[in-house]
């Protein structure tokens, strides 16, 4: 009986952690996202130096450059 209680407690604990992991904890804060200004999305020199302008914009939540498709086509040739 004592082993059954331990097993049940372990099962409940595992299920509760699984539920929190799958469904999240607390409210969704995605509504707090604000629009980036042009100053926030200015590409720094180090990103330009290594050719990672598009990756930097993507990582920082900025919209892609308008000429990004043209650059990708040039690189593919």
Buried b (16+ CB within 10 A) or exposed e, 11-28: eeeeeeeeeeeeeeeeee
Domain containing residue 60 = 38-77
Q: What percent of the chain has pLDDT over 90?
A: 44
- Tens of pLDDT, residue by residue over 19-49, are 888 887 766 666 566 677 778 889 999 999 9
In a domain, 2, yes or no: no
In a domain, 42, yes or no: yes
Q: Determine the pLDDT at residue 63.
A: 87
Q: Determine the pLDDT at residue 11.
A: 97
| Residues ≥6 apart with Cβ < 8 Å to 40 | 60, 62
Q: Determine the pLDDT at residue 73.
A: 56
In a domain, 9, yes or no: no
Q: Determine the pLDDT at residue 21.
A: 85
Report the mean per-residue pLDDT for the chain: 82
Structural domains counted in the chain: 1
């Amino acid at each position: 009986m004592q082993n059954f209680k331990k097993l049940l407690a372990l099962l409940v604990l595992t299920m509760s952690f699984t539920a929190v992991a799958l469904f999240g904890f607390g409210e969704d804060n995605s509504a707090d996202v604000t629009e980036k200004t042009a100053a926030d999305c200015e590409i720094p020199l180090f990103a330009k130096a290594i050719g990672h302008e598009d990756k930097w914009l993507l990582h920082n939540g900025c919209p892609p450059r308008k000429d990004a498709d043209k650059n990708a086509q040039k690189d593919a040739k």
